[in-house]
Amino acid sequence: MKTKQKTRPISSDKLKVSVPTSWQEMSDEQLLYVYRLLGYEVHPDRVMLYAFMHFAGLHIIRKEQGGHIYIIAKGRAVYPVKEDDLISGAMQLEYIGQPSTFPVRLSQWKGHPAVNPELREFPFGHYLQVENYFQAFLQSENTQCLREIAALLYPGFKGKPDKTLSYNLISWIYGIKQHFASEFPDLFQPMPKGGENDWPDMKAITEAEIRALNGGDITKTDAILAAETWGALAELNAKAKEAAELERISKK
């Protein structure tokens, strides 16, 4: 959900700028600009400054000799702006240094519309594939995994993700995982800390989730995989909560 952007002064009483104050406020064009910078590993401080200037519609004409004043153009107007004020303005985008905890994503890629950012009305079977490919990518950094994810989240897209799309996918999935952890806290419990190579057994997890939903009746599996993701996760969350309550009672 997009929210109204805030208007803030940066140096001159006559110069007002409008920049997003969170990931969720960014437009598609703004997200694409930031993901391009991050995907090509631009230094975080530079990302904030470049994004601030871009979002505010500002262009540096020159730096005044012997001082810390920049001559800035906004449209056809020209303003003197202190260097400290530019830095202060860029720091409004400090949140860019951390991924969003809510799923945000580019609404389309190469003409292919994305699925719902929260994976609503998204088949549970596809969600399981995304999760498995993402875990495989984290372990191997095999870009083929991201290619498979892109095909699921941008139906019809069959190309190899470039760095911009890759960053968009990774950030989107991170936001989904944080959002799901908040919405389904009994199902998505923090993983116990272990060694560097302690990765979740995704095959076992996937099979257990399907078994929990079909009650051991494999004839129901196809219907479960076709079910809506949020409905399936809500049911799994209820079962996890019930199991935790039974365990708590048994320990009394």
pLDDT tens track of the chain, all 252 residues?
343 444 344 545 577 888 999 999 999 999 999 999 998 888 888 999 999 999 999 999 988 877 788 899 998 899 898 888 888 999 999 999 898 999 999 999 999 999 999 999 999 999 999 999 999 999 999 999 999 999 999 999 999 999 999 999 999 999 999 999 999 999 998 766 655 556 778 889 999 999 999 888 899 999 999 999 999 999 999 999 988 887 777 766
Residue in the structure block whose two tokens are 């399907």: 210
pLDDT score of 6: 44
H/E element holding 84?
helix 83-91
Cα dihedral sign, 137-142-148-151: positive
Handedness of CA 221, 125, 175, 29 (dihedral sign): negative
Q: Is the pTM of this model over 0.85?
A: yes
Beta carbons within 8 Å of 98's beta carbon, 6+ residues apart: none
Token code pair at residue 225: 């995989």
Contact 218, 153 (CB under 8 A): no
Number of C-beta neighbours around residue 57 at 10 A? 12
The strand pair at 16-19 and 108-109 is best described as unpaired
Cα(159)–Cα(150) distance, integer angstroms: 9
Task: Classify residue 234 by its DSSP letter.
Answer: H
Q: Is 1 exposed, middle or buried (0-12, 13-18, 19+ CB in 10 A)?
A: exposed
Contact (Cβ atoms closer than 8 angstroms) between residue 225 and residue 132: no
